């Protein structure tokens, strides 16, 4: 069996970031306003290196091109997924992402951005923004241009363990006091609709009103992602989502759990606890890739992992 690919994370500072990436996961973050850990990424704006093993120090994008067999010869010229941990000490902007067709034309051939959120933790009474209340596209544009944010923005309460699928065209925002694991297409295209008139270095952050109006879908239709849970030998498995771009699963492991993995590769993030895989120690905050067609991967310990693989 090919080696597991452990990855060196990349960190992004943000005006809304905090220090939980250090206090919860022990990461060596650059500051107390660190918003994102790009945990598994081959994107040019924050690319991970392999940490240890025969490919130590290699960029993930280079390995994608040079060793396609590791990834099951998955089609495409770029690693398709990006896994982040997001620490929102304060509110993120109200935003929207384009789909593949819009991004290809307007963003130099970029992938669009379909994403999903697993709520790792949140403060009591925390909400997130999902969707809007405009009844059609004309009303959506009118509300945005006239800054009718209270009437426009839809919020929902959240709790630890909640899961949300965010499709392109869905207005959304993570609110302060939230820690999230995000699985997404490998894209860094975000259109800010509204940013609370905040200043960064004394200036308002750039908004993308025209792109937002062009890409927001109206009326809003809620995505009904229904998790399915089953008890397995050594683990409780929760299937969170399967969409066009990825499939995401959670495993609450207690004892010994063995699994064969998919024909392509699988991303793994240890979100709590500790243990091992095939004798290799694991702890919360580690992220790695299981190569394609890996048989009899043996997890031991008491930990929770979230796995994602491309569809």
Q: For residue 65, give both structure tokens.
A: 């091109």
pLDDT of residue 199: 85
Q: For residue 120, give both structure tokens.
A: 């790792």
198 is catalytic: no
Rounded CA Rg of the chain: 19
Residue 201 gets the label, from left (phi > 0), alpha (psi -120 to 50) or beta, of left
pLDDT of residue 263: 87
pTM, two decimal places:
0.96
Q: Catalytic one among 145, 154, 192, 298?
A: 192
**Max Cα–Cα distance, the chain, nearest Å:** 59
High-pLDDT (> 70) share of the chain, %: 100
pLDDT of residue 269: 98
Helices (H) and strands (E) in the chain, counts: 6, 22
Per-residue pLDDT tens digits for 134-147 = 999 999 999 999 99
Q: How many residues does the chain have?
A: 311
| C-alpha distance from residue 174 to each of 1, 95, 138, 233 (Å) | 39, 10, 26, 35
Spatial distance between the Cα atoms of 157 and 20, rounded to a whole number of angstroms:
21
pLDDT of residue 66: 97
pLDDT of residue 182: 98
Per-residue pLDDT tens digits for 171-220 = 999 999 999 999 999 999 999 999 999 988 889 999 999 999 999 999 99
Using omega within 30 degrees of 0 as the cis cutoff, is the peptide bond preceding 67 cis?
A: no
pLDDT of residue 262: 79
pLDDT of residue 200: 84
- Residue 56, classed as helix, strand or coil, is coil
φ, ψ (nearest 5 deg) of residue 35: -95, -35
Regions of the chain short of the pLDDT cut 50: none
pLDDT of residue 2: 86
């Amino acid at each position: 069996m090919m080696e597991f690919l452990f990855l060196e994370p990349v960190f992004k500072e943000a005006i809304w970031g905090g220090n939980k990436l250090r206090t919860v996961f022990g990461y060596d973050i650059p500051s107390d306003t660190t918003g994102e850990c790009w945990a598994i990424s081959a994107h040019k704006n924050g690319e991970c290196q392999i940490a240890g093993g025969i490919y130590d120090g290699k960029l993930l994008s280079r390995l994608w091109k040079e060793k396609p067999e590791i990834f099951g010869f998955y089609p495409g010229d770029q690693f398709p997924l990006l896994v982040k941990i997001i620490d929102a000490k304060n509110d993120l902007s109200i935003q929207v992402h384009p789909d593949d067709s819009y991004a290809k034309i307007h963003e130099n051939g970029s992938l669009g951005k379909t994403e999903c959120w697993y709520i790792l933790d949140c403060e009591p009474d925390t909400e997130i923004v999902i969707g809007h209340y405009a009844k059609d596209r004309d009303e959506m544009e009118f509300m945005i241009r006239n800054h009718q944010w209270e009437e426009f923005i839809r919020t929902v309460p959240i709790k630890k363990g909640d899961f949300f699928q965010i499709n392109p065209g869905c207005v959304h925002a993570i609110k302060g006091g939230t820690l999230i694991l995000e699985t997404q297409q490998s894209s860094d295209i975000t259109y800010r609709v509204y940013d609370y008139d905040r200043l960064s270095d004394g200036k308002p952050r750039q908004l993308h009103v025209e792109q937002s109006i062009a890409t927001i879908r109206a009326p809003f239709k809620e995505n009904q992602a229904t998790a399915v849970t089953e008890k397995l030998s050594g683990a409780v498995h929760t299937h969170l989502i399967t969409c066009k771009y990825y499939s995401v699963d959670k495993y609450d492991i207690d004892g010994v759990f063995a699994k064969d993995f998919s024909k392509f590769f699988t991303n793994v993030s240890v979100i709590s606890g500790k243990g091992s895989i095939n004798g290799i120690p694991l702890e919360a905050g580690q992220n790695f890739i299981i190569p394609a067609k890996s048989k009899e991967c043996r997890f031991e310990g008491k930990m929770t992992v979230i796995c994602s693989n491309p569809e």
